Amino acid sequence: MGRVSSLGGMRAVAALDMRRVMRVVAIAVGEPVEWSQAGNALPGAGVAFVSIEEVTEALIALHAPTVVFSPVVARRFDCIDLAMRLSQIGYLGPYRAIAKDLPRPDLIEREVRQAFPNIDFAIVLDD
């Protein structure tokens, strides 16, 4: 009883323990492979990669990130989807969406800010 019977289960427990030990200062939403394939720089130490489904009030409360990052457009979501989720859970910190090339980032910034005025949103162009 109480015994972990699979390696996957042990990995999940180890990952939880590492989150408690490692100080997370930022949350990056999306898959690391997708970030690098898009040519975006991968955030370094202190960054927890999570899926959009994992972005919850509990996750934000646990890590108290100084910033949330995501691509402007990912395979499964875009920055508007994530801004809506962050707004719904009451996140008030900065949210920065990263893009390699974007001709008019100001148009997307304006749209997100109008729809979700409580979100501190900006697009960062990754040269």
CATH topology assigned to domain 24-125? Rossmann fold (3.40.50)
Residue 14 scores a pLDDT above 70: no
Phi and psi, residue 64, nearest 5° = 45, 60
Q: Based on the number of CB atoms within 10 Å of its own CB, is 120 exposed (0-12), middle (13-18) or buried (19 or more)?
A: middle
Residue 42 scores a pLDDT above 90: no
Angle, vertex CA 85, rays to CA 101 and CA 34, nearest 5: 40
The stretch 28-49 carries a mean pLDDT of 77
The stretch 65-91 carries a mean pLDDT of 95
The stretch 92-115 carries a mean pLDDT of 94
Determine the pLDDT at residue 67.
95
SS3 of the chain: helix, strand, coil, percent, to 5: 40, 20, 40
The stretch 25-47 carries a mean pLDDT of 77
Distance (Å, whole) CA 66 – CA 93: 7
The DSSP code sequence of 77-88 is -BHHHHHHHHHH
pLDDT category of residue 12 using cuts at 50, 70 and 90? very low
Residue 37 scores a pLDDT above 70: yes
pLDDT category of residue 83 using cuts at 50, 70 and 90? very high
Residue 30 scores a pLDDT above 70: yes
